[in-house]
Amino acid sequence: MKITVIGTGYVGLVTGTCFAEMGHHVTCVDVDAHKIENLRQGILPIYEPGLEPLVARNHAEGRLSFTTRLAEGVPGCEAFFIAVGTPPGEDGSADLQYVLAVAREIGIHLDHYAVVVDKSTVPVGTADRVRAVIQEELERRGVQVGFDVVSNPEFLKEGAAVQDFMKPDRIVVGADGEAAISCMRELYADFSRNHDRLIVMGVRDAEMTKYVANAMLATKISFMNEIANLCDRMGADVENVRIGIGSDQRIGYHFIYPGCGYGGSCFPKDVKALIRMAHAHDFAPVVLQAVEDRNETQKTYLFDRIRDHYGDDLEGRHFGLWGLAFKPGTDDMREAPSKVLIRQLIEAGGSVRAYDPVAMDVAREELPAAWFESGRLALAEDEYTAAEDADALVLVTEWRPFRNPDFDRIHAAMRPEPAIFDGRNQYAPEAMREQGYHYAGVGRSGA
């Protein structure tokens, strides 16, 4: 089949590349000419394990092309995938200007039946707006062309997006017409050969499913973080509690790891958007608001523990920080807890030397230049350099290389009476104390 994907971020580039890998002919469209030229040369705008060789191979073999002009992807196209950003507005609602702009351009060029697929995460009712915009342009042109609008939300995890697309848990399709459903079944047939993973439902049902899935996962994280805070006050070890409840199959172990808050491009944005949708329908989202509030508070957890140990004035204190990305496997720093912590440490007078296996370039771009220029923030060449001459080492992102470091080497490089603030509960408290560290995890006062 011939497919056109508009938007070359995480969702669009992974979607287009994986369809091309299965033999479809894909045109990826983006308004950013520099990004398109880089993609033609095999330079990706994102870090995603396994994606780069797939892009290079499919582009070289002619199944994957890149352009700034949507019109080039129209002839013979059977499905247009809208995969542009929907950033949160000031009120938390999803900004649909890019989605609707793409819909308008499709309407300007469409000259044959095609399926228009909302791949971006969009509020309930967006498909109706996309349909109306396309129809408006067709009427303005004075032409009658059939089309269907489908909701096909993505469920990709950053750091495992290629695997998630190639071997999906489920493929949710919100569609009304049989022609659209048939098109989507054909497109995804190669991704569900051993059993049918396609779940067909109403368009609004599919739009809602995406938000609820992310909100449910965020709820589990915030709930466990709340329990961790309670464990701190009651002298319990949340890690033992986690194991105890996770063994219940009704609960399970996924997404019940306490930490210093969730971040990224999905959970924060989607929870906020769902809250906004609830208010727009005169409904008080009590649980969702609590999830959001707990997460915002949790991002200050590590700083609170540091302040408990050193006091409010951190002048002269130096902190080594491990992990800048919001989670392992990505260079994405959007809504990352590390950004909150670094700001708090610097404002309290401290200095930070940080290291991340892949997010260093992103950190140079996203963190304020004034922090670097003042000497309060520096980036280290590796995890051990980050710990040199530090009063404390702070783990924010649980990258694999951080799981079993040489703590004797680290201890020798740090200042006297070193401390470890473990934002992801990666280390055994008793072992850390035996090696001469002050140790503080999340919800581990009883350990």
Catalytic residue annotation: 266
Chain-centroid distance, C-alpha 357 = 17
Please tell me the distance from the alpha carbon of residue 437 to that of residue 369, in angstroms, as a whole number: 33
Answer yes or no: are the C-beta atoms of 332 and 325 closer than 8 Å.
yes
> CA angle 279-118-167, nearest 5°?
110
Please tell me the distance from the alpha carbon of residue 68 to that of residue 204, in angstroms, as a whole number: 31
> CA angle 381-384-387, nearest 5°?
105
> How many residues would you count in the chain?
447
Ramachandran angles phi, psi of 262, nearest 5°: -95, 160
Which distant-in-sequence residues (6+ apart) come within 8 Å of 62 by Cβ? 25
Quick one: which H or E segment has residue 214? helix 203-234
Chain-centroid distance, C-alpha 165 = 15
Count of alpha carbons within 13 Å of 110, Cβ hemisphere only?
A: 31
* Residue in the block written with tokens 């199959």: 249
